[in-house]
Structure 1
């Protein structure tokens, strides 16, 4: 196959029949989603950013909370970063939230607080690329602009047997060209959302439900039984493994030491238990030698700890801590390009720990006041499971 432009073979009658069949199906089967209640461009924008690399079911509760905390563009522009990140806590890819605030400030400054209504101006906003601009433009302003994401590329690749590699940025132009040809000029927003719903529920990556597909009779790969050949996608590079040890340190006031990340880089300005990067060899040594034992560690500070041998430190710089002689287990978390492995240990303060400027002691009950990324949430859960504490 040589990327033949099979959409060019459609005449006007076939195109209009396709659009009508597809829109009728959408009207009957469209998902009931909170951001579809009206055509408010702010609601559409927030939902589309949240839905990037995140499942719809996961997004819904976050969306409701976000709109409650920041009901207008002005509220978002004025949002304190800690509150903004707290609203986003657990969704990951936190640059999305920070970009939202910057874009909201752009809208307030450059567009009198109103979402711009042209594709070129929407594209000027921080964090908005071709897909999000197409979604906002078509749904909120009825602009005949395609919204091409992974779901859409999968549907279109099967519809026209397009063998362009969807993992390559340059292939996007091929799918946009096809979408410009077939998009319903009168109802572009409904057409784009129909594409999203079809790719999510029927034209799935594996085992597509072709018998339920409303555009089956137009689909070239269904006709030729080549559905599983599309889309063409080269393998993504495996995330790099990075190894850490994590320390859950508690003092006699039952406070835990938390550390704020730098203002730039991964998990910027978020709070974790102290972690320290180690070699894979060091990680595996600790994993094998500091194994879990049957004994559960009591929370009573008056009872003795099962501790490591004297002078065997887990972290450099925390000498006045007695460490339990086993790990609590391993936490893993995958970012787009990295895979974190954190071997978690518990220790108690026995003397003065010199507190750094980016550290706080916090009661467990106060954790909700801090912005915790997923790795931290997983470490907290590991602690709760290990000590059988109440949530």
Structure 2
């Protein structure tokens, strides 16, 4: 492992040049920080974290929807990381402490089983990228009980990268998320190289995966051959998972919505098609809430999610904002850039 690491770093040094490379995966950021990968790279090669935490990018508006449901007496089921994500005025942890029926589940299957066991209405907050969307689709295609419905908060990576590259950040390369690409494949990301000349590499999750993906991107840039290369061939195929894609196509329609820290991004969110209205929480319940976004004073979660700042740039980081007392969403989840930096930044100095 040490010899391989040295060999890849030597290759990186041979093709080094000033480049800003973004990844969009909380697991990638964890690997990078835990293993001190930034400190191994030439100083002109900058690795920035983008919106790769699926919990962090859920806006306050959608937390507010879940809060409203719980306050109406609906049983709201969520992933554990969602519990303390701030809404406009309350988090779901606040509602739970006030007596609301908010329950943590490991996946949508647990929420469906709960709906079969209790008389109350059950809503599952379906957060996540293309990685978790197929499980939501499959459950909805399997005739769930009448008292079960979904609040879809699924977000899509390709249109968001298009937004970032086109409108937001000067990027020279992209490390693409292995988990997402196991579902969608590499084809939906090809346009970023064709349209913008961005070198790309799909990466797995160990340090060698990340380092080799960086080398591939630098090599593409040096040779002037931008494209998407698949470093993670042991899990990712060009066409992706066809069955998962077919299930998503049956259940979801594209909508244009905001992400936390972003404006509205066109066609970047999955909502349910009309034929699933009986299980769509936004249709089934009164969900007409005013548009709102809670940005705590001093929090720079938005620029961090857009790759324009690091946690260490925030005046609240490690002080008022910490994992036991998170101010912004990026500190709540273990996949959040601020949470990871809090735990491992000393290793990456």
Tell me the TM-score normalised to structure 2 length: 0.23
Q: Which has the larger radius of gyration?
A: 1
Higher relative contact order (CA 8 A, sep 6+): 2
Tell me the TM-score normalised to structure 1 length: 0.21
